Amino acid sequence: HVYVEKPVSHNVFEGRRMVAAARANKVVVQTGTQSRSVPHYIEAIKYVRDGKLGKVHMAKAWNSQYRRRVDAVKDTPVPKGLDWDIWQGPAAEHPFNANRYSYGWRWFWEYGTGDMGNDGVHDLDVARWGLGVEAPAGVTCVADKLFHAGDIQETPDTQIVTFTFPEKKAVLVYEQRLWSPYHQEGHENGVAFYGSEAYMIIGRRSWKVVGRKNKVEFEKAVTFSD
C-alpha cells in the first residue's frame, strides 16, 4: 500500500513509529533497499547462512565512491509545480535553494542522513541479513568532513562505524569514503563476510569466496538483462 524511499527515518524511534502506524492501519509498507529481491544476493546469503564460510564473526559493508561537492548557491524563486512548504515538512523553513533540493538534500541533517543512510544502507542491509542480526547492542562511530571541508554539506564524507551483536558473537563494520575515485575489493559498494573457514566478497555485479591460503573457491559474475 505504501512504498517508502530510503532513508526511512533519522533514527530507530522514527522507524518503529512507522512500523506501528502500518500495523495499526493494517497496510503493507515496503522500504526501498531492493537487495533482498536480487537473485545473486539471495544465493550468496544462503551460502553464508548455510555455514559454508564456517562461523562468521565479522561482516564489513562499505561505500567508496567519489561524490561532488555541494557548494553554496543563491536562493531562487520556488519552481512552478513544487509545494515547497510540504516538501520541507516538519523541518525549519528555508527559502528555496537548488542545492537544498534535488541532489543536495541528502547532505543536510534536516532532511537526510548522509550517504550512510542514502547509499550505504543497501550494503548494511545485506550485511545484517547475512549475519542474521536485528538491532545492535552497541554502536561506535568516528566521522568527519575531510574532502568536502568548506562546502555547505553537513553530513560526513568519511566515516567508520562498528556495530556489536554479542548474542551472535558478531561485529559489523561500515566504512565510507566519498572522495575515492577507486573501489575497495573491486566494488564501489560491497559487503564482506569473514568466516572461520573462508570469506566472501559480494557486490552488485559479482561475488566470490576465498578459502584457506587465499585460494579462490568460487567466483561468479552477474549479468543483468533489461
Encode the chain (226 residues) as per-residue pLDDT tens digits.
999 888 888 888 999 999 999 999 999 999 878 888 899 999 999 999 999 999 999 999 999 999 988 889 999 999 999 999 999 998 999 999 999 998 889 999 999 999 999 999 999 999 999 999 999 999 999 999 999 888 999 999 999 999 999 999 999 999 999 999 999 888 999 999 999 999 999 999 999 999 999 999 999 998 765 4
Q: Which three cell numbers stand for residue 61?
A: 559493508
CB 131 within 8 A of CB 170: yes
Distance, in Å, from the CA atom of 216 to the CA atom of 188, rounded to the nearest integer, reads 21
H helices of 35-174, in order, are 39-49, 84-88, 114-118, 120-131
The two beta strands, 170-177 and 158-165, are antiparallel
- pTM (2 decimals)? 0.91
Q: How many CB atoms lie within 10 A of CB 223?
A: 7
